[in-house]
Amino acid sequence: MSRDDELMKMRYGTLDSNDAANRDVYDDSDWEVRILWFSALASISRVSHVKRHGIVFTTDEVRSFYSNSDNCKNCLCSLSSILVNVKTGEIVEKPLLERMLAAQKKHLESK
């Protein structure tokens, strides 16, 4: 299996387990597991990937991004599960998000 395929397999595993948790655990609650996007913020990272750094997506939004096979090629991004209150928008790891967005801004400005 190529490195790209291996990474995509891991990403789809994360998406599948999030969907299962939302269905089986959080179904009747205000909470939902979503995906916090981490770009590697590397010199070779594409701007379209860097721009997702520190942003929270639904699993469908992530699947849609990777349904474009160009986005799967040489992608170093990683996906992390994050708990979001769908009613209030509250995110459990807010300080982390703020640090990530600051790093993203710095990276884009250095281009």
Distance between CA atoms of 28 and 15, rounded to whole angstroms? Answer: 20
Q: Which is nearer to Zn ion, 34 or 49 (CB)?
A: 49
User: Least Å distance between CB 74 and Zn ion?
Assistant: 8
Q: Which is nearer to Zn ion, 49 or 107 (CB)?
A: 49
Whether residue 57 contacts residue 37, with contact meaning beta carbons closer than 8 Å, is answered with yes
User: Least Å distance between CB 48 and Zn ion?
Assistant: 8
User: Least Å distance between CB 73 and Zn ion?
Assistant: 9
Listed residue (23, 10, 15, 89) closest to 59, CA to CA: 15
Distance between CA atoms of 101 and 99, rounded to whole angstroms? Answer: 6
User: Least Å distance between CB 52 and Zn ion?
Assistant: 8
Enumerate residues 22-81 that contact Zn ion by CB under 5 A.
49, 75, 77
Position 8 contacts Zn ion (CB under 5 A): no
Distance between CA atoms of 31 and 84, rounded to whole angstroms? Answer: 6
Residues found near Zn ion in the complex (CB under 5 A): 49, 75, 77
